[in-house]
Amino acid sequence: MGIHHRISGTSLVSGAGGTILTPEIALAFAILIGALIVFMLDVVPIDFVAFSIMALILVLGPILGVTPQEAISGFSNPATVTILAMFILSAGIYRTGLINRLGHAMIRIAGNSEIKQLLTVIFVVGPISAITNNTAAVAVLIPSVVTMAREHYRAPSKLLIPLSYFSQLGGAITLLGTATNVLASAIAVREGLEPFGMFEFSHIGIMAFAVGAVYILTIGRRLLPDRRVEPRIGKDYRMNEFVTDVIVLDDSPLIGKTLTESRLREKHDTHVLEILRDGHKLKHPIGNRTIEPWDILFIKTRSERLLSLESKLGLAIEPEINLSQDALASENRVLLEVVIGPTSDLIGGTLESTNFRQHYNCTVIAIRKHGEVIRERLGQVPLNFGDTLLLRGSVTAIDQIKREPGFIITEEPEIEEFRQEKTGVALAIIAGVVLFAALGMPILVTAIAGAVLMVWTGCLQVNEMHEAIRWDVIFLLAGIIPLGIALQNTGGAQLLANLAVASANYVQPLFVLMIFYVVTVFLAEFISHSAAVVVMVPVGVATANALGLDPRPFVVASMFASAMSFSTPVSYQTNAMVYGPGGYKFLDFTRVGAPMSLLMAIVVPILIYIVEGL
C-alpha cells in the first residue's frame, strides 16, 4: 500500500519497493551531484561553493519547495551559531597558553621510547579535542610534537599522523568536540528527534578511541613512514641553488637599469630577493628600482650560473654561500618554517597577488606543497591551507610572523606571549559550558554565554575574537544546510531512504547501519564533512523510521563517520595541517589511515548496536 506525499504541488508515490522520481527530486539531486563534483575537483574554495549552493536554492526555491527564509536559515541555524561560539571558546583557552604548557609537559614526560611518545601524544590531544576545537589543539601542539621528535632523533612523521588522528577521535567523544556533531544534532532536532546531550555518546567515543590507540600502538606505528627531517633547514628543502649576496661593480652593464629591465630572471634564471644600498634594505616592490654601483643584491640562482654572472654582468660574489641555515640566518636575518593555517588570507592567492613581501617584510625561499619542494617562480604558485613556507627575514619581521593567526609555527613559541594569569578563569568558563550542557541546558545557550565571558573576563580581546572565528566554516555551514532542506522538502531524502529499506530485505539491521556508516565516510573523505552530515542524517532518520528502528543510532553513526577521516591528507583539516611539517607523501595517509578507517567501519557500528540498540 503506497503512502502519498504532496510536495511542491507534485504527487509523489512511495512504497516499500521504490519511489517515483519527480522533476523536483531530480533537480535537488542534480544540485547535490553538481556540488559533490565541484567539491571533489577542489578548484573553488569550498565555502564559496556552499554559498553558491545557497544562492541557487534561493533562485530555484519555488520549484524545490524551499522558502527564502529556509534558504538563508543556515546563518541562524543553532548549529552554525554554536560552532561560531566554539571557535571563540577555543581561542580563549589558547590565549592563556594552557595547551602550550601541556605541550611542554608532554616533551618532558615522553622520554625516548617511541611507544611512550605515542601514548603521550594520544592522551594529550584526545582529551583536549573532546572539549575544544580539535583544529586549534593540533595547531598549538605541532611545535611541541616536532620538538619532542627532534630532541630524541626521531622523525616527526612518526608522531604527527597520530596527533591528527587522535584529535579526530577525541573530538568524537562529546557533542562539543567537533562542528559536525553539533550540526548533526541540530538536523536531528529538525527531523523531530530530541537534541543530543553533551556526553550522550561519550562511552562509544571512548571505546572507539581505545580501539584506535591499540591499532596505532601495534600495527599502525609499523606503517608510519620514517621521513627524517634534516637538522639543517636548507638541506630539508633540498636546495641545489645558491642564495648569496653579490656586489654590483662600477663597470657592470646592469647599472642604470631597473631590475625589470635587467631581465635577470628571464635571461639568467636569477631571482633578486633583496637590494641593500648604503647599509639599508630597499623597500618592496623592487622591480622598478634602478641598479647603482656597489649595490648589494641578495640573489637566488643555480650553482652553475654563479661564475657566468660574475664574468658577464660585473658582479662580485662575496661570499659564495651554499644554502644552509647558518648562511641564510646570518647578518641579522633568520629562518622560519610556517604552515599556512585555515584562517590565512593567503589561501587562494599567490605571493605576488597578496603582496607577501611588502606585507610581511619577509622573503619566501621555498614552498613545500603536497610533499614537493618548489623553488622556482614562487610568486605564481597558488597557495592553499597546509602549504609550508620557508621564510627569511629580520628578527623583528619573523617575530611579527609568529604572532600572525593565519600561520602555524613549527617551532616552540615563547610561553610569555600568553595570558597565563587567566588560565583558571578560562578553565572555569569551559567547565561551566560543559557542566550546564550536561545538566540539560541547550548547548547553544552555554556556548554563547561562555564565548561572551571569555571576552569580558579578559581571556580574549575583541580583535582576537574576530580573528578566532573561522568564517570559511560558517559560510560552508550556512550554504550547505539549505541543500539538506531541499532534499527533505522535495522527497529526495525519502527516496534514498526507500533504497536503503529495499536493501534491508536482504541484510540484518546491523549491516544496514554499517552500510550507512561507510557511505557517510565516503562522502566525508572525498567531499565535505558538513555535506555528509546534511545529506545522511535525514536519510538515516527516514530509513530507521521506515524499518521501525530507533533513528538515534543512525544519527550517532553519521557523527562518528563524518568526524573520522584518515585515508588522505586532504580529507580532514588536521591531516592537512601535519602534512607539511611531517614531510609526508600523499599515500602515507592511505597506508596508515585506510586500515584504520576499515577498522572503525566495523567497530563503531557494532559498538553503537551494542550500546544503543536498534
Total domain count, the chain: 3
How far apart are alpha carbons 389 and 556 in whole angstroms? 39
The residue among 559 and 357 whose pLDDT is bigger is 559
Per-residue pLDDT at 323: 40
Q: Which helix (H) or strand (E) holds 444?
A: helix 443-456
**382 and 481 co-located in one domain:** no
Statement: residue 162 has pLDDT above 90: yes
Whether residue 313 has pLDDT greater than 50: yes
3-state secondary structure at position 177: coil
543: region left, alpha or beta (phi > 0 left; psi from -120 to 50 alpha): alpha
Domain boundary among 322, 351, 384: 322
Mean pLDDT of the chain, nearest integer: 80
Residue 471: how many CB atoms within 10 A of its CB? Answer: 12
The pLDDT score that the predictor gives to residue 134 is: 79
More confident: 498 or 232: 498
Question: Does residue 18 lie in a domain region?
Answer: no
pTM of structure: 0.67
User: Rounded distance, CA 184 to CA 186, Å?
Assistant: 5
Cell of 116: 611512550
| Alpha helices, DSSP H, located in 60-193 | 61-64, 68-71, 78-95, 98-110, 114-131, 134-151, 157-171, 179-190
Same domain, residue pair 403 and 438: no
Percent of the chain at pLDDT > 90 equals: 18
Residue 170 has pLDDT above 90, yes or no: yes
CB 349 within 8 A of CB 397: no
What pLDDT, on a 0 to 100 scale, did the predictor assign at position 149? 83
Same structural domain for residues 445 and 581? yes
Higher-confidence position of 333 and 118:
118
Listed residue (99, 60, 54, 43) closest to 80, CA to CA: 54
Residues of 38-74 as b/e, b for ≥16 C-beta within 10 angstroms? bbeeeeebbbebbbebbebbbebbebbbbeeebbbbb
Identify whether 154 is part of a domain.
yes
Give the confidence band of 19 by pLDDT, cuts at 50, 70, 90.
low
**Separation of alpha carbons 82 and 597, rounded Å:** 28
Please compute the mean of the pLDDT values over residues 127-154 and round it to a whole number: 80
Query: Measured on CA atoms in the order 214, 215, 218, 221, is the torsion positive or negative?
Result: negative
Given this model, what pLDDT does residue 449 score?
93
> Is 178 inside any structural domain?
yes
Residue ending a domain, among 417, 437, 460, is 417
Residue 521 — φ and ψ, nearest 5°? Answer: -60, -45
Check whether 423 has a pLDDT greater than 50: yes
Tell me, yes or no, whether 34 and 133 share the same domain: yes
Question: Does residue 230 have a pLDDT over 50?
Answer: no
Say yes or no to pLDDT of 389 above 80: yes
Residues 154 and 221 in one domain: yes
pLDDT band at 112 (very low <50, low <70, confident <90, very high): confident
pLDDT greater than 70 at residue 502: yes
Band (96; pLDDT cuts 50, 70, 90): confident
CA distance 382 to 369: 10
Last residue of a domain, one of 382, 417, 452: 417
Give the CATH number for residue 340.
Answer: 3.30.70.1450
What local confidence, expressed as pLDDT, does residue 16 receive?
Answer: 43
Maximum C-alpha span of the chain: 96
Model confidence at 421, in pLDDT bands (50, 70, 90)?
A: confident
- Sole residue written with cell 534514498: 496
Cα angle for residues 388, 390, 395 (degrees, 5° grid): 130
Give residue 32's identity as a one-letter amino acid code: L
pLDDT attached to residue 97: 77
Q: Is the pLDDT of residue 229 over 60?
A: no
509 with 394, same domain: the answer is no
20 in any annotated domain: no
If one counts every other C-beta atom within 10 angstroms of the C-beta of residue 462, the result is 8
Pick the more confident residue, 331 or 281: 281
Predicted pLDDT of residue 583: 78
307 confidence band (pLDDT: 50, 70, 90): low
More confident residue, 332 or 466: 466
User: Residue 554 domain-assigned?
Assistant: yes
Q: Report the pLDDT value the prediction gives residue 567, as an integer from 0 to 100.
A: 86
pLDDT at 573: 78
Q: How much is the average pLDDT of 589-601?
A: 93
Distance (Å, whole) CA 18 – CA 313: 78
pLDDT value, residue 232:
44
> Do 227 and 250 belong together in one domain?
no
Closest C-alpha among 530, 594, 602 to residue 559: 530
How many angstroms separate the CA atoms of 22 and 166, rounded?
44
Highest mean pLDDT among 153-162, 207-216, 505-514, 524-533: 207-216
Grid cell, residue 558, equals 553519521
Whether 127 and 105 map to the same domain: the answer is yes
Residue 556 within a domain: yes
Average pLDDT over residues 471-487: 82
DSSP assignment of 276-296 equals EETTEEPPSP-TTPBP-TT-E
**Residues 411 and 427 grouped into a single domain:** no
Residue 521 lies inside a defined structural domain of this protein: yes
**Beta pairing partners, 300:** 243, 271
- Which of the residue ranges 185-199, 387-401, 518-532 has the most confident prediction, judged by mean pLDDT? 185-199
- Over residues 379-394, the mean pLDDT reads 82
Hunting for cell 527516514 — which residue is that?
542
> SS3 of 207, please?
helix
Among the ranges given (194-208, 223-237, 293-307, 469-483), the one the predictor scored with the smallest mean pLDDT: 223-237
**In the structure, what pLDDT confidence band is assigned to residue 163 with cuts at 50, 70 and 90?**
very high
pLDDT of res. 25: 87
Averaged over 234-258, what is the pLDDT? 70
Decide if pLDDT at 366 tops 90: no
184 and 227 housed in the same domain: yes
Instruction: Quote the domain boundaries for residue 529.
Output: 28-231+423-614
User: What is the DSSP-derived secondary structure letter of residue 323?
Assistant: S
Cα–Cα distances (Å) from 6 to 22, 24, 78, 547, in that order, read 11, 12, 28, 22
Lowest mean pLDDT among 72-76, 103-107, 160-164, 456-460: 103-107
Same domain, 177 and 279: no
Q: Tell me, yes or no, whether 142 and 225 share the same domain.
A: yes
| Cβ atoms of 74 and 480 closer than 8 Å | yes
Residue 376's pLDDT is: 64
12 belongs to a structural domain: no
SS3 content of the chain, % helix, strand, coil (to 5): 60, 10, 30
Q: How many CB atoms lie within 10 A of CB 465?
A: 17
